C-alpha cells in the first residue's frame, strides 16, 4: 500500500513505479532529508502540534533510520518512489503509526526544495575550498616564475612576451570571481522553503522561522508558491559551475598545448599523465584532456535545467524531479576535477629555458621597436609601418630584430640609436610594461599580493 494509496482502487503499474521513481538518485539526499525532518518534528512539538512524547519517538526513530540508511542496512525501494517516502516508510516500520505524524503540515514539495538547498549549501562550501587550493597552486607557480619570460599570444600567434607568473596569476583572478559568484549565490540558496506546504502554506500553526533557524538558514522563502516552484538556485549554480568549467577547460587546453613537443614549455608530472597501450614513448595529458572534455556535461546540465523549467506553470510539477541528477553530477564532476587540479599544477615542471628561447626566436618585441620610435618623436601610425618593413626584411633574411646591425636598423630610420639593442631584449620588453596589471615583474608581484589577500578572505 502506497503512503498516498487511499483514493486508488488499483496498484500503480510496475512500469510507472520504475519510471516515476527518483529513489535511484535522490537517495543522495537521505542525510539532508532526515536533517530537515528532525528540525520539523522539533518545531511541531514546540508549536504544540504534536506531543513531546510523540516528537521524541519520531526523533529517535529518524536517527535509527539515518543509521540504517548510512550502513546500507535499510532497503530503499522504487515502490516508495523517492527518498522522502522511503524515509517515512522506514520510520513507521521503526516506531509504528506515530511515525505518520511527522508529515503534519508538510508536503514533499517543500521538503524536496529544502533537501536540495541543504545539499547545495554543503556542496558550495566544499567547492569554494577546492577552488582555493587550485588558486594556491597557481599562485605558487606564479611566485616561482617571476623571471620566466614566455611568448604571450593573441590568435595563438606570438604577440608580446609576458612572465609565466603573469599568465598563472590571470587564472587566479578568474577563479577568484568564480569563488565570489559561489559565495554570492550562497545567500540565495540559504533560505528555507519548509512550511510552504504543497503550494499554499498550511493550516497548522507552524513556525517557519524556528525551522529555518534550527537548520542554519538566513531566513525563509517569502512566498510559498515561489518556494516550491522555482529552481533558479539550481540554474544559478549550474551557470556558475559552467564558468568554472570554462576556466578549467581553457587552462587544460593550454596545458595540453604546452606539454606537446611543438611547444615543449612544461612537463606534467608522471603522476598526472598516462601512457599508451601501443606506443611506448607516449606520455599523455589525459587528466587535462578529460577535465576539458567534462565541460560538455556541465554545460549540458545547465541547458537541461533551463529547458525543464521553461514554460512550467506554478507551482510544483513532476518535471522538477529532473533537477537532481544534473546538479549531483555537476557537483561531483567539479569536485573530481578541482581535487586533481591543484596537485597537477603544483607538480608541473616549467621549462623556463625553452620558454625563454622561444621568445628570442620571434618578433614579439616588434611593438617595442615601434614604441621606441614613438619615444624619438615619430607618430605611432608611422612607426608601426616602419617596423612592419623591418619585420618583413628580417623574415626575408631569416633573421630576428636583435640580429640586425645598427646600420641595418638605421637604413629604416635614422632615429634608431645604439640603445635599441637593450630596448629589445625580452627582460626590457617585459619590464617596460610597467602599468597596473601589466607584465612587468613588480606589477606581477603586486597582482600576486592582491590575489593572496583575496584568498585569505575567501
Ligand atoms: N521526488 C519528487 C521530486 O523530486 C518529490 C516531490 C514530489 N511531489 C509530488 N507532489 N509528486 O520532485
Q: CA–CA separation, 428 vs 430, rounded Å? A: 5
Nearest CA to ligand 1 atom 2: 321
Mutate to test the pocket of ligand 1, among 18, 25, 82, 85 (most ligand atoms within 8 A of CB): 82
Pair 320, 220 in one domain: yes
DSSP conformation letters of 372-438: HHHHTT--HHHHHHHHHHHHHHHHHHT--GGGS-HHHHHHH-TT--TTHHHHTSHHHHHHT--STTS
Mutate to test the pocket of ligand 1, among 318, 326, 328 (most ligand atoms within 8 A of CB): 318
Catalytic residue selected from 37, 80, 276, 384: 276
Residue 167 forms part of a structural domain: yes
**Measured in angstroms, how far is the CA atom of residue 402 from the centroid of ligand 1?**
71
Residues of the chain below pLDDT 70: none
**Measured in angstroms, how far is the CA atom of residue 98 from the centroid of ligand 1?**
23
**Measured in angstroms, how far is the CA atom of residue 194 from the centroid of ligand 1?**
14
At 206 the pLDDT is 98
Neighbour-count burial of 189, counting CB atoms closer than 10 A to its CB (0-12 exposed, 13-18 middle, 19+ buried): buried
Pair 199, 227 in one domain: yes
**Measured in angstroms, how far is the CA atom of residue 11 from the centroid of ligand 1?**
19
**Measured in angstroms, how far is the CA atom of residue 242 from the centroid of ligand 1?**
26
Domain termination site, one of 349, 380, 401:
349
**Measured in angstroms, how far is the CA atom of residue 322 from the centroid of ligand 1?**
10
Residue 241 forms part of a structural domain: yes
Residue 231 forms part of a structural domain: yes
What pTM, to 2 d.p., does this model score? 0.95
Domain termination site, one of 75, 104, 133:
104
Q: Is 247 a catalytic residue?
A: no
Catalytic residue selected from 155, 166, 245, 249: 155
Nearest CA to ligand 1 atom 11: 318
Mutate to test the pocket of ligand 1, among 112, 119, 305, 322 (most ligand atoms within 8 A of CB): 112
Proportion of the chain in helix, strand, coil states, percent, rounded to 5: 65, 5, 30
Strands 266-267 and 349-350: antiparallel
Find out whether the beta carbon of 231 lies less than 6 Å from any atom of ligand 1: no
Q: CA–CA separation, 84 vs 105, rounded Å? A: 15
Pair 92, 148 in one domain: no
At 100 the pLDDT is 97
CATH of the domain at 47: 1.10.275.10
Question: From the centroid of its chain, how far is CA 88?
Answer: 35
Pair 100, 134 in one domain: no
Pair 253, 367 in one domain: no
Mutate to test the pocket of ligand 1, among 111, 321, 325 (most ligand atoms within 8 A of CB): 321
Pair 237, 301 in one domain: yes
Which grid coordinates belong to 18?
Answer: 520504475
Residue 115 forms part of a structural domain: no
Q: How far apart are the first and last CA of the chain?
A: 51
Domain termination site, one of 321, 349, 377:
349
Pair 42, 92 in one domain: yes
Pair 235, 344 in one domain: yes
At 1 the pLDDT is 75
Residue 118 forms part of a structural domain: no
Which grid coordinates belong to 365?
Answer: 618585441
Strand partners, 163: 149
Structural contact between residues 93 and 123, judged by C-beta atoms closer than 8 angstroms: no
Q: CA–CA separation, 407 vs 416, rounded Å? A: 9
Q: How many domains does the chain have?
A: 3
Which grid coordinates belong to 265?
Answer: 614549455
CATH of the domain at 373: 1.10.40.30
Find out whether the beta carbon of 110 lies less than 6 Å from any atom of ligand 1: no
If DSSP codes are grouped into helix, strand and coil, which group holds residue 146? coil
At 34 the pLDDT is 98
Residue 109 forms part of a structural domain: no
Pair 35, 135 in one domain: no
Find out whether the beta carbon of 316 lies less than 6 Å from any atom of ligand 1: yes
Residue 234 forms part of a structural domain: yes
At 397 the pLDDT is 96
Q: Which atom of ligand 1 is nearest to the CA of 108?
A: 6
CB atoms within 10 A of CB 262: 8
Find out whether the beta carbon of 106 lies less than 6 Å from any atom of ligand 1: no
Find out whether the beta carbon of 108 lies less than 6 Å from any atom of ligand 1: yes
Find out whether the beta carbon of 287 lies less than 6 Å from any atom of ligand 1: no
Q: What are phi and psi of 315, to 5 degrees?
A: -110, -100
Pair 239, 287 in one domain: yes
Neighbour-count burial of 95, counting CB atoms closer than 10 A to its CB (0-12 exposed, 13-18 middle, 19+ buried): buried
Domain that holds residue 426: 358-457
At 3 the pLDDT is 84
Which grid coordinates belong to 218?
Answer: 538566513
Pair 245, 325 in one domain: yes
Q: CA–CA separation, 81 vs 432, rounded Å? A: 66
Q: Which atom of ligand 1 is nearest to the CA of 82?
A: 1
Pair 71, 167 in one domain: no
At 29 the pLDDT is 98
Residue 432 forms part of a structural domain: yes
**Measured in angstroms, how far is the CA atom of residue 163 from the centroid of ligand 1?**
54
**Measured in angstroms, how far is the CA atom of residue 27 from the centroid of ligand 1?**
13
Neighbour-count burial of 188, counting CB atoms closer than 10 A to its CB (0-12 exposed, 13-18 middle, 19+ buried): middle
Q: Is 37 a catalytic residue?
A: no
Q: CA–CA separation, 87 vs 84, rounded Å? A: 5
Amino acid at each position: 500500500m502506497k503512503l498516498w494509496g487511499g483514493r486508488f482502487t488499483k496498484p500503480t503499474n510496475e512500469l510507472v513505479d520504475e519510471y516515476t521513481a527518483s529513489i535511484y538518485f535522490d537517495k543522495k539526499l537521505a542525510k539532508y532529508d532526515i536533517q530537515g525532518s528532525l528540525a520539523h518534528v522539533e518545531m511541531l512539538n514546540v508549536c504544540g502540534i504534536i506531543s513531546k512524547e510523540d516528537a521524541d519517538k519520531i526523533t529517535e526513530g529518524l536517527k535509527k533510520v539515518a543509521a540504517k540508511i548510512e550502513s546500507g542496512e535499510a532497503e530503499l525501494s522504487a515502490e516508495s518512489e523517492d527518498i522522502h517516502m522511503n524515509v517515512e516508510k522506514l520510520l513507521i516500520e521503526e516506531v509504528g503509526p506515530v511515525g505518520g505524524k511527522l508529515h503534519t503540515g508538510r508536503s514533499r514539495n517543500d521538503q524536496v526544495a529544502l533537501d536540495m538547498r541543504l545539499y547545495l549549501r554543503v556542496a558550495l562550501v566544499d567547492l569554494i575550498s577546492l577552488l582555493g587550493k587550485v588558486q594556491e597552486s597557481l599562485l605558487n607557480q606564479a611566485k616561482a616564475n617571476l623571471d620566466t619570460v614566455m611568448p604571450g599570444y593573441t590568435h595563438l600567434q606570438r604577440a608580446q612576451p609576458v612572465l609565466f607568473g603573469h599568465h598563472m596569476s590571470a587564472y587566479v583572478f578568474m577563479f577568484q570571481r568564480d569563488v565570489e559568484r559561489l559565495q554570492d549565490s550562497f545567500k540565495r540558496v540559504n533560505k528555507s522553503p519548509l512550511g510552504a506546504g504543497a503550494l499554499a502554506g498550511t493550516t497548522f500553526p507552524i513556525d517557519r522561522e524556528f525551522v529555518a533557524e534550527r537548520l542554519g538558514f538566513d531566513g525563509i522563502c517569502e512566498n510559498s508558491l515561489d518556494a516550491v516552484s522555482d529552481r533558479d538556485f539550481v540554474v544559478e549554480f549550474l551557470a556558475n559551475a559552467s564558468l568554472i568549467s570554462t576556466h578549467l577547460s581553457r587552462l587544460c587546453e593550454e596545458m595540453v598545448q604546452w606539454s606537446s613537443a611543438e611547444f615543449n614549455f612544461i612537463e606534467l608530472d608522471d603522476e598526472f599523465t598516462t601512457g599508451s597501450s601501443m606506443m611506448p614513448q607516449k606520455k599523455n595529458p589525459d587528466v587535462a584532456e578529460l577535465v576539458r572534455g567534462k565541460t560538455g556535461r556541465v554545460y549540458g546540465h545547465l541547458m537541461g535545467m533551463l529547458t525543464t523549467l521553461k514554460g512550467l506553470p506554478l507551482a510544483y510539477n513532476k518535471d522538477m524531479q529532473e533537477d537532481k541528477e544534473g546538479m549531483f553530477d555537476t557537483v561531483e564532476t567539479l569536485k573530481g576535477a578541482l581535487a586533481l587540479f591543484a596537485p597537477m599544477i603544483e607538480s608541473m615542471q616549467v621549462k623556463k629555458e625553452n620558454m625563454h628561447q622561444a621568445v628570442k626566436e620571434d618578433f614579439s618585441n616588434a611593438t617595442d621597436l615601434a614604441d621606441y620610435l614613438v619615444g624619438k618623436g615619430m607618430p605611432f601610425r608611422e612607426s608601426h609601418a616602419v617596423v612592419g618593413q623591418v619585420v618583413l626584411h628580417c623574415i626575408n633574411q631569416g633573421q630576428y630584430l636583435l640580429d640586425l646591425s645598427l646600420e641595418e636598423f638605421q637604413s629604416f630610420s635614422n632615429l634608431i640609436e645604439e640603445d635599441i639593442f637593450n630596448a629589445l631584449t625580452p627582460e626590457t620588453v617585459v619590464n617596460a610594461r610597467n602599468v597596473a596589471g601589466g607584465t612587468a615583474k613588480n606589477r606581477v608581484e603586486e597582482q600576486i599580493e592582491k590575489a593572496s589577500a583575496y584568498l585569505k578572505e575567501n
